[in-house]
Structure 1
Amino acid sequence: MNMLQRTTGARKVDPTAKASPLLQVAALCTRQGHKGTQVLLVQSSRGRWILPKGWPMDGRTDAEAAKLEAWEEAGVAKGSVGKAPIARFMTKKRFEDGTTAPCLVTVYPIAVTTMTKTYPEAELRRRRWVSVKKAIKLVSEEGLRDILRAL
């Protein structure tokens, strides 16, 4: 079925049509704490706890883009990034004008070894190392919760 249908001389969006999802990459940053694996979360501009994530980048692999997002949003200075994704999940991307779009997020693991106090978005985002159990409670995206449960 076409996305647009002709109805009484006007064009109307077909509500049953499915848009292709936007694509983002995310970094699942982990480290070993005293009580087991910890996950690094950052706070979004709307106050939700999320993984560092962003758009794919020209000239970089998706794994490299995920590592750069971890640096810019959370101050991950050094870490070993997996070249292959460990998971994908669907979410909704909310834009500043209030519109939303389906978004497929591809997640790359990063075993973090070094963090910095100063990084590009330090004034914009809070970051927090938490247990996997706590991360599951903090994040709101069900697909991300499923990924965390698999840890």
Structure 2
Amino acid sequence: MAFFDRRPMLRQQREEIRTETVTSHMAIQLPIAIRKARKREVRTQFAALIYRVRNGKIQILLITSRRTGRWIIPKGWPMLGKRPAEAAAQEAWEEAGIRGKALPQCLGVFSYYKNTSIERSLPCLVMVYPLRAKRLEKDFPEKGQRKRKWFSQKKAAKLVKEPELVKIIETFDPHVLK
């Protein structure tokens, strides 16, 4: 994950990110973690749904989380000077060693709690962007910290834990992307 020090970020910039996220998804019912958050601040992250097509079938690349080893997709915090899809592509490179271009079309959102310590967790809303893999690099920043593996769309949906992400993977169709 990219290092991003949020402290110097101006409050106005944080509000713009939050406003953009919420207003572009007004028709979507807020995900589970967000509804439960109550008075805690909700954080936004950007993720890449990395895919390729082999023999006419869609494959999804999943990586393991560093702490628990669960299967996830690359995701991270907003980055100054980068649009959401660009930040997702940066995370795909750093966490999975994938080179490609993320499309600016958000596939959907999912929520989860990011455990920052034993007693604290942050509710996060994650916007997912499609990224067609062009190159799989052998060396990348988080090599050795994570496993990565290609799965069929059906198998990938079964391996991730977040219900909204399961739905995004199950319904993903690269042929309808702009």
1:57 is matched with 79
**Kept after mapping to 2: 8 A contact 1:41/1:49:** yes
Please give the alpha-carbon distance, in whole angstroms, between the structure 2 residues aligned to 1:42 and 1:130: 11
Q: % of aligned pairs identical? A: 43
The runs of at least 4 aligned residues of structure 1 exceeding 4 Å deviation read: none
Please give the alpha-carbon distance, in whole angstroms, between the structure 1 residues aligned to 2:56 and 2:121: 38
Could you tell me which amino acid in structure 2 is paired with residue 49 of structure 1? W
1:35 deviates by: 5.7
Please give the alpha-carbon distance, in whole angstroms, between the structure 1 residues aligned to 2:56 and 2:146: 26
SS in 2 for 1:41: strand
- Which structure 2 segments of 5+ residues have no match? 1-35, 173-178
* Paired residues, number: 136
Deviations 1:69-117 (A, max 9, x none): 000000012x231012111111111124452121100001101111111
**Kept after mapping to 1: 8 A contact 2:41/2:122:** no
Please give the alpha-carbon distance, in whole angstroms, between the structure 1 residues aligned to 2:65 and 2:37: 31
1:66 is matched with 88
Task: Within 5 Å, give how 1:91-110 maps onto structure 2.
Answer: 91-110=112-131
1:63 deviates by: 0.8
Task: Within 5 Å, give how 1:1-151 maps onto structure 2.
Answer: 17-34=38-55, 36-45=57-66, 46-77=68-99, 79-151=100-172
TM-score, normalised to structure 1's length? 0.84
Could you tell me which amino acid in structure 1 is paired with residue 70 of structure 2? R
Please give the alpha-carbon distance, in whole angstroms, between the structure 2 residues aligned to 1:76 and 1:125: 13
**Kept after mapping to 2: 8 A contact 1:91/1:143:** no
- Decide which structure has greater helix share: 2
- Decide which structure has greater strand share: 1
2:176 is matched with none
Please give the alpha-carbon distance, in whole angstroms, between the structure 1 residues aligned to 2:51 and 2:38: 38
Q: CA RMSD in A?
A: 1.7
Please give the alpha-carbon distance, in whole angstroms, between the structure 2 residues aligned to 1:113 and 1:141: 27
SS in 1 for 2:134: strand
- Which structure 1 segments of 5+ residues have no match? 1-14
- Which protein is bigger by CA-based radius of gyration? 1
